[in-house]
Amino acid sequence: MPNPGRFVSVLLVFAMLIFPAARVFAQRPAIEAPHGMVVSAHHLASAAGVEILQKGGNAVDAAIATGLALSVVYPWAGPLGGGGFMLVHLADGRQIAIDYRESAPAAATRDMYLAPDGSLIKGAGSSTTGWRASGVPGNVAGFAYALENYGSGKITWAELCEPARRLAREGHRMSQTTALALRNAEPLLGLFDESRSVFLKGGAFYSAGDLWVQSDLGETLARLQRHGPREFYEGETAQFIAAAMQKNGGTITLADLKAYRPVERAPLRGNYRGHEIVTMPPPSSGGIALLQMLGMLEWHDVGSLGHSSAAKYHLFAEVMKRAFRDRAEYIGDPAFVHVPVAQLLAPAYVQNRMADFSPDRATPAAAVQPGLGKYVAAARTESPETTHYSVVDSAGNAVANTYTLNGGFGSGVTIPGTGILMNNEMDDFTSKPGAPNMFGLIQGEANAIAPSKRPLSSMTPTFVFKDGKLLLVTGSPGGPTIINTVLQVVTNVIDFNMPVQRAVEAPRIHHQWLPDVLTFEAYGISADTEAALQARGHLIKERTSYEGATQGDAESIAIDPKTGLRQGAADPRKGDSAAVGF
């Protein structure tokens, strides 16, 4: 019997591709399920997670299976060669943050991306492209740590690898979204023979509906099944990576791989209108900025302003500026620099950040000063090509996971014989302290390159609780827009009482202090609202197709406090996204 839900999904994807701007305003109900729910950027990855839940696995088990499956079906952001952050909520009331961010190799140096004349190296050999652009991958180690410490104990590592191995070895039908993404990435992937072979069909290109078999990646996943996750760091896979790096002038060695370990951290906590917010600590800048912005908004009756009013957008832009100004000044890897977390989140300090706020006039970015005085810790903006997924199981355990290669398709390098696409995470460090980066942000010393250091990030996996019960699991990709996307989803739910699907679909804005520009999604602000914001002194810009006409991809889950139903909200901004439950 045909699956009507799948048929609806196919129609929705078709509509998104034909009318891409309209997807911001798509309206559909959340997918409801009584037991478990997985929401990710690809329906096959969501299905892989649910497969594990149905076998008796918990949310952590399912999150690992989902992440491994994304490494096969979502190549521009989810491959094994990346890293990220996992936020875990356990049904017994504990929350844990697992940092499996990539780290700089031992051979990394502060000035490794500077030419003799002091300028930044461009192209191959830069921090963005080729063999020297990668940090040591953390995905496999992070998933293994989560399984060992917080998995159900009922599902083995080999079982978690199986859905991904199957998708790679047996193949899956390529979606139109993926085929288009691969074709558009030809200028990067075409630079490297292995990537050209694996992802571009040797230059012939894949088309929607083609069966895409990734034999080398399937064999890599089979090795991980047989020998366990340390195989990636100490076994044949590690040998493949190290040998290719050495042959091509890369910096990652066997010793780097063997030494890599994830870090468990205490999540950050805050409150907003009677809700508890649990989010990611440094080296993510997202959690601090999110809690700061919510703290500034607490003193304003946001709901009375109207969701899409000029007054609301003005307030949010001013709040964003101040949080991003502090982000630029104070946040880096806590293993290398002091991050004044308690001071930045102190209620009196946060309230005082809005002391110069005017409801009638925008504060120029140049006039927004850091609240604790000059420090210049770090300012760096990572690429928007990241991915986020959310999981809730029948017992109430939950995972919010955000991970990345950094740029779309990372460094462009695929390790021969493995199918593993590598990250270009070294570009998230400050390559030239004191100089503005490509986004106009001043780059600071505290985010300068150093061996084993983890670069600053905006990734913001987040939980929202009400009366001690989990209400919302959310997060997003999008580089610096991540933080503001999460802010708007959270406030849509709390301030505007939106159902989770509507909260995810609602149009979004973004301001990051510098450049001093308020951006909005295509068709996301009316002409009269735009004029009212300009009258307040804001420089307004519609997001373009080059930078992504839409903002973020907030794959989210809400739990109905009355029925306990898991409500999965797939963000329509991504054509293959899906909520799958049971």
Catalytic (active-site) positions? 386
Lookup: tokens for 184: 């558009």
Q: Which residue type occupies 134?
A: S
- Tell me if residue 566 falls in helix, strand or coil: strand
Lookup: tokens for 250: 């890369």
Q: Is the dihedral of CA 484, 486, 491, 493 positive or negative?
A: positive
Q: 534: exposed, middle or buried (C-beta count within 10 Å: 0-12, 13-18, 19+)?
A: middle
Q: Which residue type occupies 541?
A: K
Lookup: tokens for 192: 């490297």
Q: First and final CA of the chain: distance in angstroms?
A: 18
* C-alpha dihedral, 472 to 478 to 481 to 484, nearest 10°: 0
- Degrees to nearest 5, angle at CA 419 with 415 and 425: 55
Q: What are the two backbone dihedrals, phi and then psi, of residue 304, each rounded to the nearest 5 degrees?
A: -75, -15
- Tell me if residue 141 falls in helix, strand or coil: helix
CA atoms of 297 and 315, how far apart (whole Å): 8
β-partners of residue 84 are 100, 403
CA atoms of 23 and 196, how far apart (whole Å): 31
User: b vs e for 402-419, b when ≥16 Cβ sit within 10 Å of the residue's Cβ?
Assistant: bbbbbbbbbbbbbbbbbb
Annotate 323-334 with DSSP letters as a single string. HHHHHHHH-S-T
Question: Among 292, 263, 493, 287, which residue's Cα sits nearest to residue 400?
Answer: 287
Contact 473, 390 (CB under 8 A): yes
Work out whether strand 566-569 and strand 31-33 pair parallel, antiparallel, or are unpaired.
Answer: antiparallel
Spacing of C-alpha 528 from chain mean position: 33
Alpha helix positions (H), 171-299 = 176-184, 186-189, 193-200, 215-227, 231-234, 236-247, 254-259, 286-297
- Degrees to nearest 5, angle at CA 175 with 172 and 181: 115
- Tell me if residue 505 falls in helix, strand or coil: helix
Lookup: tokens for 382: 């990572």
Contact 57, 68 (CB under 8 A): no
CA atoms of 167 and 150, how far apart (whole Å): 26
CA atoms within 13 A on the CB side of 102: 29
